[in-house]
Chains A and B, each alone.
Chain A
Amino acid sequence: MHEHDLDLIAALADGSLDDESEARLLIDTCEVCGSEYRSQTQVLAWLAAAPGVDMTELEKAALHRDLWTELRSEPSKAGATPWWQTWSYVAAGLFVLVGLVAVLNGPLGSGGQAGETLAVSSDLDAPAVEEAAPFDADESGSGEDSQAGAPTTTAAERALDLPFAELAEEARNAREAEPNMGTMSLDGEVEDCLARLGLEDQVVVDELELDQTYLVVMTEDPELDRSVTFVTLTDCEIVHVDR
């Protein structure tokens, strides 16, 4: 199989080529290419014949009912400020706070962790912004942050301070490491935390010390799932997933 022909054969099979002459010549003259093309078109035919999968009316009604029940407990977004305006308030508050901290720096207690520094400014936030890590960090399923009596900072605010470059580097290193290296033995606290996050069947391959301590968690079979999950022990929270 000529590796560089994969795109051409696949594109010919799904009809996405403007000019098929080159591809047609290839499958006519290369037995392996022709076989691959027939295989691809057969699969596409099977898939095209697959019926659509829709919800029944009963399932839709249940979905809508459950969804709206969940949404009724959400804070109302009516009159909420746009996200960019919210973050401009946060930025302004941070600026003032950092200035105050600089002035008061000393035995009175300086900034501490970024999360604590943000505690005062969080009051400026519109209630709509109470999410886990930003969209690109793929934390779509995590709902731990939306709780009454929540921490003084929002997860979105904490997520802004993550050392993304260092986490990405660590993720690359974790994937490149030998499979039998670095599965750490766990104490009870870590095991409980991973169980709460639904990561009990994954392995901790490293403990990363940056602005705080991150557990670096991966599946046992990175061939199937190459995600690297970063968990903070202090909050027992997934703060980033690198894919």
Chain B
Amino acid sequence: MTLPGNEAELLTRVVSGDRAAFDTVMRIHEDRVFSVCLRVLGDRERALDATQDTFLTVFRKAGQFQGRSALGTWIYRIAVNTCYDHLRRARRRASLPLPDHVDPADPSAEDAIESAAPRPEIQVALALLPPDFRDAVILSDLEGLSMPEAAEVLGVPIGTVKSRVFRGRRLLAQHLGNQNHP
């Protein structure tokens, strides 16, 4: 879907209460938001909740977007922070469930998971990383953000992101290497 105008115009319309404009923003970015939420949280249900919370925040804080970064980067940052909120609230729960944990009462969920799940071994390996490294790798290597964009999303210097990406990849290599060559 292409933007029917520039990002600033869209946000201005959202701020003024144009819900069709907000719907456009949501449909453009919802897949990417869900993707990063799923990779960070490792659970579809929680990722969907976090996606909803992300866009609620986008709607409420649209007036605070000042255009210093791209709209997508700003939304990504909200998504990552929302995921952190969810992780804090859920910290007492068991370790992040793998995609094959399916509620048998909801057969549609099983189809959804089989058709659109991350490779389990990658998700397991990601879950084993320290959160700082994991999030840097997700944003840079899975979501395709540039280092400056990832730094903006995570609120850290570019050098810090580069270091975290490097160390995250190194740890992933160890985890994935062990899984593939036990």
- Which residues of A are interface residues toward B (Cβ below 8 A)? 6-7, 9-11, 13-14, 16, 36, 39-40, 42-44, 46-47, 49-56, 58-60, 62-64, 66-67, 70-71, 74, 76-80, 82-83, 128-131, 134-136, 138, 140-143, 146, 198-202, 219, 223-225, 227, 243
Contacts and interface: CB of A to CB of B under 8 A. Distances in A.
A78 B13 CA distance: 9
27 contacts: A14-B140, A36-B170, A40-B169, A40-B170, A42-B177, A46-B122, A47-B172, A50-B118, A50-B122, A52-B116, A55-B34, A55-B51, A56-B116, A59-B34, A64-B26, A76-B17, A77-B16, A80-B15, A82-B15, A128-B63, A135-B78, A138-B81, A140-B54, A140-B82, A141-B84, A141-B89, A198-B88
Contact of A80 (B16, B64, B172): B16
Given A131-B60, A200-B92, A10 B34 contact: no
A225 B88 CA distance: 10
A169 B112 CA distance: 47
B7 interface: no
A223 B147 CA distance: 23
Contacts of A43: 141, 169-170, 172-173, 176
A129 to B, nearest CB: 7
B52 interface: yes
A79 B17 contact: yes
A225 to B, nearest CB: 6
Helix, strand, loop or mixed for chain B's interface?
helix
B59 A74 contact: yes
A225 B40 CA distance: 14
A52 B54 CA distance: 20
A55 B48 contact: yes
Tell which of A128, A140, A201 has the most Cβ of chain B within 10 Å. A140
B108 A58 contact: yes
Contact of A77 (B17, B34, B112): B17
Interface string B147-182: 100000001000100110111011011001100000
A80 B12 CA distance: 11
Interface string B97-128: 00000000000100110011111001000000
Tell which of A128, A129, A131, A200 has the most Cβ of chain B within 10 Å. A128
Given A46-B122, A224-B130, A40 B166 contact: yes
Interface of B: 14-17, 19, 22, 26, 30-31, 34-35, 38-39, 44, 48, 51-57, 59-61, 63-64, 78, 81-82, 84-86, 88-89, 91-92, 108, 111-112, 115-119, 122, 130-131, 137, 140-142, 147, 155, 159, 162-163, 165-167, 169-170, 172-173, 176-177
B173 A40 contact: yes
B176 A46 contact: yes
Contacts of B26: 64, 67
Given A50-B118, A50-B122, A138-B84, A80 B39 contact: no
Contact of A54 (B34, B57, B130, B165): B34
B45 to A, nearest CB: 10
Contact of B52 (A40, A66, A201, A227): A66
B166 A9 contact: yes
A219 B15 CA distance: 36
B176 to A, nearest CB: 6
